[in-house]
Amino acid sequence: MSDGVVRWLAPVAVVIGLAVVGVFLWSGLQRDPHLLPSPLIKQPTPTFNLTRLHNPRKFMSQKIFLGHVTLFNVFASWCYACADEQDELMYISRHSHVRIYGLDYKDNRGEAKKWLHRFGNPYRAIAFDATGRVAIDWGVYGTPETFIIDKHGIIRYKQVGAIDAQVWRQILEPLIQRLRVTG
Amino acid sequence: MRILTAMLVLLLISSCFTLQASARATDSLHFVSPAAQARYNDLAYSLRCVVCQNQTLAESEAPLAADLRHLIAAQVNHGKTNQQIKRYLVERYGDFILYSPPLSALTIFLWFAPLGFLALALWRLLRRIRRRPQILDK
């Protein structure tokens, strides 16, 4: 390479390199560093077979997700933020066609039933995950967590942390609408 | 003599941390062999706690970390390989649970950019040195 070309090539490469790094750092500022992208998006839901919270002789499996759009919410009576979210879930259960199912995570049956009585029960049915083993299959690391599942049992979105009005209106509601129509 | 004393004190202090960590690492876990326990330790210390994200699974006090430690111990005892166990966890929690992100089109910049910049700087430095007039000793 001629000396003239090389003289500006190196500084330009450095500037471009720094610009690329800058773009990554800038976009990172918008995001919570503790939130992990889920590897389950666009995958079929994990398989499971758990007893139901209100009736230990009945079971719930992943087959319950087929044929409709589902909002699958992981909660626990010991989880502070879950109580915050319950109002919003009650609202959703009254104003949306989405089917709400629950996963009661590492909880006590009695405590969970009391909690639902106190904060509201928006769930069509609740699977009782006493050991949390099923939740591990869903990659749960911070309750509450909510999964939006399409009619074919494919996970389309995961929300870590409580759902508020903004999350519902801006993210979940439009997605659920789209999934109902297109499937 | 004083250096030796200082070193002994340092060793004593640091052993507090390692003993504490290894005590939690094994909790009430049982292993089918010393080899299994060694593999478990390798894994527990090389995987990130996704809740307390600056700690390994071995060190973290988060309940999920305890659950995952039990899971890893069970799989090790069942003869699953380290690779199988890591893949199991990555399938559920993503690459973040590993400390070193795997090489891919996305992460190749992360891995090689620092080296690239260093190489570039060294190259420019060498060129500059070569261009300087030589000073000859008499």
Q: Dihedral (C-alpha) A75, A79, A81, A83: value to the nearest 10 degrees?
A: 70
Instruction: Please count the other Cβ atoms lying within 10 Å of the Cβ belonging to residue A158.
Output: 20
Mean pLDDT calculated for residue range B64-76: 96
The runs of H, that is alpha helices, within chain A are 3-29, 80-95, 109-119, 133-137, 165-167, 173-182
For B19-63, what is each residue's pLDDT tens digit? 455 455 556 899 999 999 999 999 999 999 999 888 999 999 999
Nearest by CB to residue A36, choosing from B71, B94, B124, is B94
For A30-42, what is each residue's pLDDT tens digit? 777 678 889 999 9
Mean pLDDT calculated for residue range B4-33: 68
Distance CA A104, CA A51 (A): 11
The distance of A33 to chain B (nearest Cα, Å) reads 10
Q: A39: cis peptide before it, omega within 30°?
A: no
**Chain A contact present for B78, CB below 8 A:** no
What is the residue-averaged pLDDT of chain B?
Answer: 84
The per-residue DSSP string of A30-67 comes to TS-TTPPPPTTTTSBPPP-EEEBSS-TTSEEEGGGGTT
**Contact call for A34 and B109, based on CB within 8 A:** no
**Chain A contact present for B66, CB below 8 A:** no
Q: Report yes or no: A157 and A147 within 8 Å, Cβ to Cβ.
A: yes
Size of interface A-B (CB pairs under 8 A): 43
Listed residue (A17, B13, A148) closest to B5, CA to CA: B13
- Chain B residues touching residue A141 (CB < 8 angstroms): 50-51, 64, 93
Q: Provide the pLDDT confidence category of residue A179 given band limits of 50, 70 and 90.
A: very high
pLDDT score recorded for residue B2: 81
Mutate to test the interface with B, among A79, A141, A147 (most CBs of B within 10 A): A141
Which residues are A103's β-sheet partners? A74, A127
- Chain B residues touching residue A136 (CB < 8 angstroms): 67-68, 71, 92
Q: Are strands A99-105 and A125-129 parallel, antiparallel or unpaired?
A: parallel
For A46-66, what is each residue's pLDDT tens digit? 999 999 999 999 999 999 999
Q: Is B104 strand, coil or helix?
A: coil
Instruction: Please count the other Cβ atoms lying within 10 Å of the Cβ belonging to residue B61.
Output: 11
Query: Does ipTM exceed 0.90?
Result: no
- Between the two ends of chain B, the Cα-to-Cα distance in Å is 48
**Chain A contact present for B96, CB below 8 A:** yes
Q: Scanning every residue of chain A, which has its alpha carbon at the shortest distance from the alpha carbon of B106?
A: A24
Q: Scanning every residue of chain A, which has its alpha carbon at the shortest distance from the alpha carbon of B123?
A: A10
